A and B are shown apart, each in its own frame.
Chain A
Amino acid sequence: MTTMSTPANGASELLDLAAGVFLLAAVAILWLRDVAAQTRLLAVQGSALAAMAVVLGAEQAHPELYAVAAGVGLLRAVVLPALLRRAVNARAADRETRPLLNVGASLLTAAALVLLAYAVAQPLVRLEATAAARALSVGLSVVLIGLLVLVTRRNALAQVVGFLLLDNGITAIAFLAAAGVPLLVELGVSFDLLLVVLVLRVLTTRMRAVFGSADLDDLRELRD
């Protein structure tokens, strides 16, 4: 049994807990079919991400991270889930997704992906055995799970959820590996994200108007 090189203090415990909630939310999103429940979990995951940023800011004496955490929390825990919820509530028929891979198989795939992420992150952890480095594998796992959701769900709204999952994972890695990106870059990324979700919402509304559902399999033909 390897021992931690840094003493187990409160900050690293909190970071472990936030990372655990972050990963659990991703797993639960994969577990559930109901898109409305998935958006609630996205809000939970956004709060966990903001908590991670706050803990890191306190640990590394990086006051700039507090501002980033506030922005991330507002956008990912409040604004984006609210936007998605409005889109979901617009039509009851799109609430349930039909995954291409059944839920049991995708959960087992997720288990394999998490193991892969842990294996890949091992050299990084060996480089510097801090709580942040150990949580890197969680960020990687969430990126992989987000990709899995993107690939296996055919409902446009569920795909937005997968995309946001992927982006949450990338942001977590940025926080953990580099103590956060500069405020300006984070701001730009956040606005891009907001724009993407807004555009996808408009696209979903248009799809519903034309096809009567938000199923991406209906988008087969090119028209001019």
Chain B
Amino acid sequence: MTTSSVVISALQVTLVLAGAPLLTGLMRQVRARLEGRAGGGVLQPWRDVRKLLRKARLDPEGTGPAFRTAPLIGVAAAIMAAAAIPLAATGTALGSGADLIAVIGLLTLASAMLALAGLDTATAFGGMGASREMTITALAEPTILMAVFALSTRIGSTDLPAIVTAGITDGARLASPASLLAAVALAVVVLAETGRLPVDNPATHLELTMVHEAMVLEYSGPDLALVELGASMRLAVLLGLWASLFAPWGIATTAGAAAVVLGAGVFAAKLALLGAALAAGEVFTAKLRLFRVPELLAGSFLLAVLAVTASFFLN
């Protein structure tokens, strides 16, 4: 672990921590404008966090450690992932610890903790949200593993910096059928894991079919601020991971200051672009019925299987 790698990781964490609420704000703003509303502005999520942090803590009666630790673990897992994934530069501080499977495991840990917290409140909505979240996670997991295999068979490693470096040095690899199929499969999974349309509606607290919001219904004050921050950081990290895997242009492969700063700028631009595109797409999308979500995820699983077969047989 060298000084430069620590600096790179710290930069990435700061960028994600400060930028994730801005990304959420940008997406809400794009959506509002397209729907003909004025919108709250890009800074609104940060204002919400500030407001919530000033309030007193309030735990529902009878809740235990799962409820109290889940928001912290959510933010901590996102910070770890932001430090490990090569978002702005490939030389992150975790080295070979930046394994694709380990990163996915970290993010799954956060959603599992949140599901436990939802169960801990012993309310009907919390239980329903936890059960739905776990169903979706369980269905998304095989797709993630398959897509990971498709990306790693050619490199012979699940090491994230190795995969990203291979993508930068060999651009034709990204246009191969295996890579395109894996990109589509992982995109569907990212939508499911971050609770976006068409799997879950992020804009509502008043729907019987809500998933994420049902789990966090009992949170208030600073805890709610952490939950919201964790959710936006999760979105930023997963979108960043997707961008690093399938559009790695601009990521610094050396530790030079200029290259890293450029990489950070390109990363922010990529996130803003992906977020705006996602928000624009959501305007035209309706939420899928809960019982049709398995169909969507089975489809993305099939695409991931095809990606593995293509990278195995066509190579």
- The judgment on whether A and B are partners is yes
Tell me the A residues contacting B by CB distance below 8 Å: 1-2, 4, 8, 13, 16-17, 19-20, 23-24, 27, 31, 102-105, 107-108, 110-111, 114-115, 118, 122, 125, 134, 137
With A and B bound together, what is the CA distance between A107 and B175 in angstroms?
Answer: 25
Q: Once the chains bind, are B294 and A114 in contact (CB under 8 Å)?
A: no
Q: Which residues of B contact A122 (CB under 8 A)?
A: 313
Contacts A1-B154, A17-B177 hold; do A111 and B301 have CB atoms under 8 A apart?
yes
Listed in ascending order, the chain B residues whose CB lies under 8 Å from chain A are 153-154, 156, 172, 175-177, 180-181, 294-295, 298-299, 301-303, 305-306, 309-310, 313-315
- Subset of 19 A-B contacts with CB under 8 Å: A1-B153, A1-B156, A1-B315, A8-B172, A16-B177, A17-B177, A27-B299, A27-B302, A31-B299, A102-B295, A103-B295, A103-B299, A104-B298, A107-B302, A108-B298, A110-B302, A111-B301, A114-B305, A114-B309
Instruction: List chain A residues, Cβ under 8 A from B302.
Output: 27, 107-108, 110-111
Q: Which residues of A contact B305 (CB under 8 A)?
A: 111, 114-115
Partner of B314, one of A108, A115, A134: A134
Given contacts A103-B298, A107-B299, A111-B301, contact A2 B177 (CB under 8 A): no
Report whether A137 and B299 are in contact in the complex, using a CB–CB cutoff of 8 Å.
no
A-B contacts, CB under 8 A, total? 60
**Contact A108–B313 (Cβ < 8 Å):** no
Inter-subunit contact A20/B309 (CB<8 Å): no
- Chain B nearest CB from A142 CB (Å) reads 12
Q: Chain A residues with Cβ under 8 A from B313's Cβ?
A: 118, 122, 125, 134, 137
What is the bound-complex CA distance between A26 and B206, given in angstroms? 38
Q: Given contacts A16-B176, A103-B295, A104-B294, are A23 and B315 in contact (CB under 8 A)? A: no
CB distance from B173 to the nearest CB of A (A): 11
Q: Smallest distance from the beta carbon of A32 to chain B beta carbons, Å?
A: 9
* Contact of B298 with A114 in the complex, beta carbons under 8 Å: no
- Is A107 within 8 A of B309, CB to CB? no
Contact B180 A104 (CB under 8 A): no
Q: Which residues of A contact B156 (CB under 8 A)?
A: 1
Q: Tell which of A2, A13, A137 touches B172, judged by Cβ atoms closer than 8 Å.
A: A13
